[in-house]
C-alpha cells in the first residue's frame, strides 16, 4: 500500500491514526513523500523517522525533478515488497493441466441470480479456460446425459455443494469430485484449520450454539442455504439423538463469540483472502472451530475425504 504525505506539512491526527491501523494489519507500506522540493527539514526528519520506525520503505517526489525517475524508484520498491504479500490462489490452480476435461454442475434454483452464474462458478469457469481446459457446464438434471455423451470420464467434476447428494449418486465412486465452495475454502481461508475444525461436528455439545456467517447481504429466499438448508441438515445429522442446538446469523464476528461452539462460514467469494484469514485468525485465537458451507455439506453427505481428494492435485 502507498501512503502519500507532503513534506511541507506536519502530520495530522488523521494520518497518524490511519498509519497506526495500517501497521496493525501488517500490510507492506511504502511512504511516498511529496513536495520534496518544498520540504520543511524538521517535518522531513520527523516523518522519515516515523515511517522507518514502522518498518516502511520510503520514496520521494518533487515537482522540479524528472517524475519518470521517481516512478521507476517507486516501482522497484513495490517489486521488493511483493514477497511480503500472500498471493491468492485461483480456483483450480494446481488441480488441472492443459487439455483436462472438467464438468461443472451448476443448479439453477430460486436462490440463483436471474440471467447469470454466481461468482465462484464464473471465476472457476474462467480459470479453466485460462488454463486451456475443456470446461463443460450442466445442471444437475442433465449430468447423466452429459456423462454418457463423453467418450472418456471427466478428469474432475465440480458441483455446487447443495447438489452433493444428487451428484454423488450419479457419479461412479472413482470419479474425482469436489465443489465450488471447497475450492474457495482453499482459495480464501485457512484450509488446514477448517479441516481440523471438522471434528467439532462429531463432538458437538448438547445445547451448543452455531454461528452462521456470511460475507454479503444477498436477498434471502425461503430455501436460503444459510438460514434454512444448513440448519435443517445440521439438526438432522447431529441432533437426531435429542441434542439441542441454537443458531444465530451474522456478517461480522459478534462480541459474544466465545458463546459459540462452531462457526459455519459462507464461501467468502465477496471478500478478500486477507479479510477471511483475519476473521479465521480471530476465531482460531479464541478456540472457535470454523468450517465453510462446502465442507459442512460434504461432511453431512458422507463425502469426506472424497470431496477434498482433488485438492491434493492432479497436475504434475
The 8-class DSSP code of residue 229 comes to I
What CATH number has the domain spanning 101-183?
A: 3.40.50.11420
Contacts of 270 (CB under 8 A, 6+ apart): 119, 215, 216
Locate CATH 3.40.50.11420 in the chain. Answer: 101-183
- Third-level CATH fold of 2-84: Rossmann fold (3.40.50)
Over residues 35-43, the mean pLDDT reads: 89
pLDDT band of 315, cuts 50, 70, 90: very low
Stretch 157-178: mean pLDDT, rounded? Answer: 97
Rounded to an integer, what distance in angstroms lies between the CA atom of residue 308 and that of residue 314? 12
Residues near 128 by beta carbon (within 8 Å), at least 6 away in sequence: 92, 96, 100, 102, 104, 135
User: CA geometry: angle at 25 spanning 23 and 27, to 5°?
Assistant: 70
**CATH 3.40.50.11410 domain extents, the chain:** 190-300
pLDDT digits (tens, 9 = 90+) for 60-111: 888 777 778 888 888 888 888 766 667 789 999 999 999 999 999 999 876 6
Thinking of the domain 190-300, which architecture would CATH place it in?
A: 3-Layer(aba) Sandwich (3.40)
For the record, the C-alpha cell of 260 comes out as 459459540
pLDDT in tens, 10-23: 988 898 888 887 77
Per-residue pLDDT tens over the stretch 246-293: 999 999 999 999 999 999 999 999 999 989 999 999 999 999 999 999
Rounded to two decimals, the pTM is 0.79
Amino acid at each position: 500500500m502507498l501512503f502519500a504525505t507532503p513534506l511541507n506539512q506536519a502530520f495530522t491526527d488523521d494520518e497518524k491514526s490511519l498509519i497506526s491501523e495500517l501497521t496493525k494489519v501488517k500490510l507492506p507500506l511504502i511512504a511516498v513523500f511529496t513536495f520534496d522540493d518544498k520540504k520543511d527539514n524538521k517535518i522531513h526528519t520527523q516523518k522519515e523517522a516515523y515511517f522507518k520506525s514502522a518498518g516502511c520503505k520510503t520514496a520521494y517526489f518533487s515537482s522540479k525533478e524528472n517524475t519518470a525517475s521517481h516512478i521507476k524508484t517507486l516501482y522497484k520498491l513495490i517489486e521488493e515488497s511483493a514477497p511480503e504479500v500472500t498471493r491468492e490462489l485461483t480456483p483450480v490452480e494446481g488441480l488441472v493441466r492443459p487439455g483436462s476435461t472438467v464438468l461443472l454442475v451448476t443448479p439453477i434454483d430460486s436462490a440463483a441470480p436471474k440471467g447469470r452464474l454466481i461468482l465462484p462458478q464464473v471465476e472457476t469457469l474462467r480459470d479453466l479456460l485460462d488454463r486451456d481446459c475443456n470446461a463443460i457446464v450442466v445442471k444437475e438434471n442433465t449430468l447423466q446425459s452429459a456423462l454418457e455423451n463423453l467418450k472418456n470420464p471427466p478428469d474432475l467434476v465440480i458441483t455446487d455443494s447443495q447438489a452433493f447428494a444428487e451428484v454423488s449418486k450419479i457419479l461412479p465412486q472413482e470419479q474425482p469430485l469436489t465443489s465450488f465452495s471447497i475450492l474457495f475454502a482453499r482459495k480464501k481461508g485457512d484450509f488446514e484449520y477448517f479441516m481440523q475444525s471438522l471434528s467439532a461436528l462429531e463432538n458437538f455439545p448438547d445445547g451448543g450454539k452455531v454461528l452462521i456467517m456470511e460475507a454479503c447481504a444477498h436477498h434471502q429466499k425461503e430455501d436460503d442455504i444459510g438460514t434454512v438448508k444448513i440448519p435443517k441438515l445440521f439438526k438432522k445429522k447431529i441432533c437426531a439423538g435429542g441434542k439441542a442446538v441454537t443458531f444465530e446469523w451474522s456478517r461480522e464476528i459478534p462480541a459474544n463469540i466465545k458463546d459459540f461452539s462452531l462457526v459455519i462460514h459462507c464461501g467468502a467469494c465477496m471478500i478478500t483472502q486477507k479479510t477471511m484469514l483475519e476473521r479465521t485468525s480471530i476465531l482460531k485465537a479464541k478456540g472457535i472451530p470454523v468450517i465453510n458451507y462446502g465442507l459442512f455439506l460434504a461432511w453431512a453427505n458422507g463425502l469426506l475425504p472424497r470431496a477434498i481428494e482433488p485438492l491434493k492435485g492432479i497436475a504434475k
